[in-house]
Amino acid sequence: MRRTGGLQLSPDRINKKVQEIKPSGIRRFFDLIIGRKDILSLGVGEPDFPVPWKVREEIIYSLEKGVTSYTSNHGLEELRQAISEYYRKFGVECFQKDVLITTGVSEGFDIAVRAIINPGDAVLVPDPSYVMYKPLVTLAGGEAISIPTNPDFRLNYERISEYRDLRPKVLILNYPANPTGVSYARRELEEIADAVIENDMLVVSDEIYCELSYNNKHVSIASLNGLGDRTIILNGFSKAFAMTGLRVGYNIAPPDLLDAMLKIHQYCMLCAPISAQIGAIEALKNEEDELEDMRAEYLRRRNYFTKRLNEILEVNIPDGAFYAFPSIQSTGLSSEEFTERLLLEKNVAVVPGNAFGECGEGYIRCAYAVSMEKLKEAADKIEDFVRSL
């Protein structure tokens, strides 16, 4: 029975864990921007390239033929096979049976933490990091513990080992990283792996930006000695193949973990959309060249933008992804003040660093997934703004 009229609704209507979760720090900026067409946005965490035409064309064709059914819970065999072959280039020996198709890394992460976390388990999450990790760990019943990583934003043996006494069960890894652009060379990963093995942890490794790696070829941590049995790899087609809205990704994991995740996936998702899976097969088959062109273009933008930024602010050169994460501490403004004033005074949108954790305070995230012309204009405007302070 529904009661209305002046009644104080109890907050207990909402699940306690959900109550605990803070709304995303960038929601306020949505409200400031909404409906405005004159914004030059470096706030977009997705490629400015549209889905490659071959992929779209393949999806259109499949729709014409009426390919619109469910797939198996695991996903299409052909796609899983193609992924297992593709992932060998990052050093991982895996097979079709090790791959589970998801509706993107967001779902992939959710089912991964739900499959392994017991109430109260400590989960180490680098700070700053992508916005979904901590809330989903909390929802899964875990205790999300931040590892501060500033000012270089890198994880290493010491930083992880400091949390030994908490007996952490899981390490969340994301490289190349959103929002910092940090990635790791093999020898750094080996150090991280040592800490993982010493503390008998599992790794959830979000490698969605693996193709956008500029300095070293991406190495999956699962390829290192002793890590294959401990790692759940999360990846997808959104960034490398610009297929964000199609929602298709995959988890690669050892058999027991994969089975556990499959149980959750089959009840909460059933399967990833078949059209997106068809597109993903085409992407892996025929898009390697376009991918290389895309990577080269992002690299030019990275070089250009960080060079310009470095004339006015301090910024580490990102190893990968399409984010620059400059410090704005020299301006004396907080991340949110800087972001809000830049938006109001120059119509340029960036994301305040504190949206990605406390250690992001004093930084802003600029996505250089925009055309060179726009990037130039944005750099000019940011420069004007900083010099006017």
Partner 1 sequence: MNDKVFEVLKILSENSKVTPQEISQMTGFPEEEVEEIIRKEEENGVILKYKTLINWEKAGEELVFAVIDVNVTLSREKGYDDIAKRIAKFPEVHAIRLVSGEYDFQVVVKGKNLKEVAFFVAEKISTIPEVRDTVTHFILRTYKEEGVLLFSDEEDRRLAIVP
Q: Work out the number of other CB atoms within 10 angstroms of the CB of residue 165.
A: 7
Nearest approach, Cβ of 227 to partner 1 (angstroms)?
28
Q: Segment 333-372, which members bind partner 1 (CB under 8 A)?
A: 349, 351, 355-356, 372
291 close to 141: Cβ distance less than 8 angstroms: no
Q: Among 119-127, 199-207, 294-302, 327-335, which window interacts with partner 1 (CB under 8 A)? A: 294-302
Instruction: List, as one string, the DSSP characters of 49-87.
Output: SPSPHHHHHHHHHHHHTT--S---TT--HHHHHHHHHHG
Place of tokens 């699940």: 15
Q: Work out the number of other CB atoms within 10 angstroms of the CB of residue 291.
A: 16
Nearer to partner 1, 73 or 244 (CB): 244
Residue from 300, 314, 337, 384 binding partner 1 (CB under 8 A) = 300
Place of tokens 């933490």: 113
Instruction: List, as one string, the DSSP characters of 14-38.
Output: S-HHHHHSPPPTTHHHHHHHTT-SS
Residue from 308, 324, 353, 378 binding partner 1 (CB under 8 A) = 308
Contact status: 217 vs partner 1 (CB under 8 A)? no
Residue from 46, 78, 191, 340 binding partner 1 (CB under 8 A) = 46
Residue from 19, 24, 72, 286 binding partner 1 (CB under 8 A) = 24
233 close to 222: Cβ distance less than 8 angstroms: yes
What gap in Å lies between CA 336 and CA 355, rounded to an integer?
A: 9
Nearer to partner 1, 177 or 192 (CB): 177
Q: Segment 168-207, which members bind partner 1 (CB under 8 A)?
A: 178
CA-to-CA dists, residue 23 to 18, 108, 142, 145, 186, angstroms: 10, 21, 18, 18, 36
Nearer to partner 1, 26 or 233 (CB): 26
Residue from 145, 275, 295, 304 binding partner 1 (CB under 8 A) = 304
Contact status: 291 vs partner 1 (CB under 8 A)? no
List of residues contacting partner 1 (CB under 8 A):
24, 26, 29-30, 33, 36, 39, 41, 43-46, 48, 50, 130-132, 178, 296, 300-301, 303-304, 307-308, 349, 351, 355-356, 372, 376
